[in-house]
């Protein structure tokens, strides 16, 4: 559904992505590969489908990777994109305030660039306007045992509590997307770091102008290596944003177990005696040699899996060559570059940094 009048949007893309290192040492988190596309491209596609034609993207960490991702995609070709560059990171509140000049003339969408969500944004915007809300947050059911901040709603959709347990309603969590009115800018301070959940949301709760819209549509957090790996696999299984992938489903040979799903980018070659199982995503110009065994792995571009190597439940960044007969299980591997000061001391194997993926 397309909203009845033009609306603008902002994508928050300035964060450093520390929990996702080493994958984010040389990439901004919203620009990392995801089924041949990237989270920032899927965010722009979501906005475009809802009739958004003007988008602001804030930049700080590895800004050129964001610009390259958007300029290399046709998903943003019919949008006007403004870049709000932050010399010092300003946080969600400070970053939004700096972009006020582009967003001050009507309702707008604010979307986290490090989450992937596929929802009917037009319906959400129309609901926000009918409620005459100053802020509407997209919410979803909170998984039992998860550490996400808990929110609760009144029957009419008002947000009544944040971070508190309640027996009167089911626990919900924020899904990374807001619809906001430009009057919220009066609560935000210019030129300093701030967080919307601290500097804005409590004030809106006090005046009763913050609402929650509940939808359990597809949503993925890519903030940690384990979440990123899971998101890649679930996006592939669900075919989410399929029209924006730059990868194709590989026809499985009879030797692969039932239920195996492999998605591969252009120029990738898989030896007929290689064995895949589970769900794996391969980028462009990868090579999987004879006798290699691959289960549930994500490979970026130009990755080689050597003969008889075992690769399982791992993420391998671009230009890494796994040696013949090697064993890589629940690891993130990335080639070391010149700028190594951003990395903590970790296990180093050859020219790669290797990080374990938590269970």
* 342: pLDDT strictly greater than 50: no
Interval 5-14: pLDDT, tens = 568 999 999 9
Local structure of 344: helix, strand or coil: coil
d(CA 287, CA 301): 10
Q: Is the separation of the CB atoms in 316 and 352 below 8 Å?
A: no
Within 8 A by CB and 6+ apart from 230, the residues are 220
Please state at what angle helix 39-49 crosses helix 121-131, rounded to 10 degrees: 60
Q: Which residues pair with 293 in a beta bridge?
A: 275, 310
Q: So what's the pLDDT on residue 267?
A: 94
Same domain, yes or no: 179 and 274: no
Q: So what's the pLDDT on residue 272?
A: 93
- When pLDDT is averaged across residues 350-358 and rounded to a whole number, the result is 77
DSSP 242: G
Q: CATH number for the domain including 261?
A: 2.160.10
Q: How confident is the model at residue 355 (pLDDT cuts 50, 70, 90)?
A: confident
**Is residue 228 in some structural domain?**
no
Range of the domain at 60: 8-221
Question: Is the C-alpha dihedral spanning 49, 55, 60, 66 positive or negative?
Answer: positive
**Is residue 294 in some structural domain?**
yes
**Is residue 300 in some structural domain?**
yes
Same domain, yes or no: 255 and 217: no
* 219: pLDDT strictly greater than 50: yes
Q: So what's the pLDDT on residue 168?
A: 63
The percent helix, strand, coil of the chain (3-state, each to 5) is: 25, 30, 45
- When pLDDT is averaged across residues 287-310 and rounded to a whole number, the result is 95
Number of domains comprising the chain:
2
Q: Is the separation of the CB atoms in 330 and 314 below 8 Å?
A: yes
**Is residue 3 in some structural domain?**
no
Higher pLDDT: 323 or 2? It is: 323
Q: How confident is the model at residue 315 (pLDDT cuts 50, 70, 90)?
A: very high
Same domain, yes or no: 33 and 161: yes
Same domain, yes or no: 259 and 211: no
Q: Is the separation of the CB atoms in 216 and 109 below 8 Å?
A: no
d(CA 88, CA 286): 37
Same domain, yes or no: 63 and 204: yes
d(CA 7, CA 62): 28
Q: How confident is the model at residue 2 (pLDDT cuts 50, 70, 90)?
A: very low
- When pLDDT is averaged across residues 345-351 and rounded to a whole number, the result is 57
pTM of the complete model: 0.87
Interval 117-156: pLDDT, tens = 989 999 999 999 999 999 999 998 888 777 788 888 888 8
Q: Is 268 exposed, middle or buried (0-12, 13-18, 19+ CB in 10 A)?
A: buried
**Is residue 229 in some structural domain?**
no
- When pLDDT is averaged across residues 250-267 and rounded to a whole number, the result is 93
Same domain, yes or no: 192 and 335: no
Our CA angle for 263, 269, 272, nearest 5°, is 95
Same domain, yes or no: 46 and 90: yes
């Amino acid at each position: 559904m397309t909203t009845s009048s033009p609306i603008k949007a902002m994508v928050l893309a300035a964060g450093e992505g520390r929990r996702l290192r080493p994958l984010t040492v040389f990439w901004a988190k919203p620009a990392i590969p995801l089924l041949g596309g990237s989270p920032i491209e899927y965010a722009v596609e979501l906005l475009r489908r809802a009739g958004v034609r003007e988008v602001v993207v804030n930049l700080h960490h590895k800004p050129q990777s964001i610009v390259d991702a958007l300029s290399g995609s046709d998903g943003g070709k019919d949008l006007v994109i403004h870049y709000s560059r932050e010399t010092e990171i300003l946080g969600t509140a400070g970053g939004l305030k700096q972009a006020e000049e582009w967003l001050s003339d009507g309702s707008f969408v604010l979307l986290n660039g490090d989450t992937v969500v596929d929802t009917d944004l037009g319906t959400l915007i129309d609901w926000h306007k009918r409620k005459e809300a100053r802020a509407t947050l997209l919410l979803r059911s909170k998984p039992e045992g998860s550490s996400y901040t808990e929110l609760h709603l009144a029957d009419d959709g008002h947000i009544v509590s944040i971070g508190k347990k309640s027996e009167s309603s089911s626990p919900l969590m924020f899904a990374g997307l807001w619809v906001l009115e430009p009057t919220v800018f009066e609560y935000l301070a210019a030129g300093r770091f701030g967080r919307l959940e601290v500097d804005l949301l409590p004030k809106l709760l006090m005046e009763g102008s913050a609402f929650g819209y509940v939808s359990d549509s597809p949503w993925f957090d890519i903030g940690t290596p384990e979440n990123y790996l899971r998101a890649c696999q679930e996006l592939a299984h669900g075919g989410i944003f399929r029209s924006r992938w730059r990868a194709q489903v590989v026809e499985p040979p009879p030797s692969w177990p039932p239920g195996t799903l492999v998605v591969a980018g252009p120029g990738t070659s898989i030896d007929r005696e290689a064995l895949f199982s589970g769900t794996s995503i391969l980028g462009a110009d990868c090579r999987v040699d004879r006798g290699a065994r691959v289960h549930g792995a994500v490979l970026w571009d130009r990755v080689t899996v050597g003969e008889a190597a075992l690769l399982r439940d791992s993420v391998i960044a671009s230009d890494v060559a796994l040696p013949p007969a090697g064993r890589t299980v629940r690891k993130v591997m990335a080639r070391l570059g010149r700028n190594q000061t951003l990395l903590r001391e970790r296990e180093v194997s050859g020219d790669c940094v290797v990080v374990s993926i938590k269970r």
